[in-house]
Amino acid sequence: MIRKPLVLAALLATSVALAQDTPKVELIRAQQTQLRADMDAGKVALTPRDALQVRKDQDTVFEIIGRKPSLEAMNIQERVTLDNALERINASVQGTRVADDRKDVCRYQRVTGSKQLQLVCGTQDDRDRARQGARAYLEKTRICEPPCNGR
């Protein structure tokens, strides 16, 4: 498997810059175009499934940046979608479990007791730890001491 360190560095720089609101849409477009050309030339070896996912995410990236001239012109949903797509591309190209666990995933979650949506971002590793903690809490043995249930 051939991995292009330059492509990886460029993708990582794009993700970091997107989080800082400073990248240019043209930089993202150029990097993704170069990655697609490298994939077509066989310079980046991916499994067929990963290649399909990367191309799908790139189509999403190209669609979003094709509609808006700058990141400032994008609404929050477009920016979240763009950031998630770039994170998935980065994780697929790096091809490691560590990269997959460290990628940020953002989603909207309802605030308890209201109809408001709250944007929640975290790594897959964070979500796994929260799930394990919740499962451990639910599986914890509870013993009722007398008087139990009002008896």
CA angle, residues 135, 151, 145, in degrees to nearest 5? 45
Distances (CA, A) of 125 to 81, 92, 132, 137: 20, 16, 11, 18
pLDDT value at position 100?
58
In order, the DSSP letters of 102-126 are: HSEEEEEEEPTTSS-EEEEEEEHHH
Q: Compute the chain's Rg from CA coordinates.
A: 21
Task: Give the type of residue at 20.
Answer: Q
Q: 1 versus 13: which is more confidently predicted?
A: 13
pLDDT per position as a tens digit, 87-137: 888 888 876 555 656 667 788 888 888 888 888 888 877 888 888 999 998
Considering the entire predicted model, what is its pTM? 0.53
- Beta-strand relationship, 117-123 and 104-110: antiparallel
Distance CA 99, CA 130 (A): 19
pLDDT value at position 149?
64
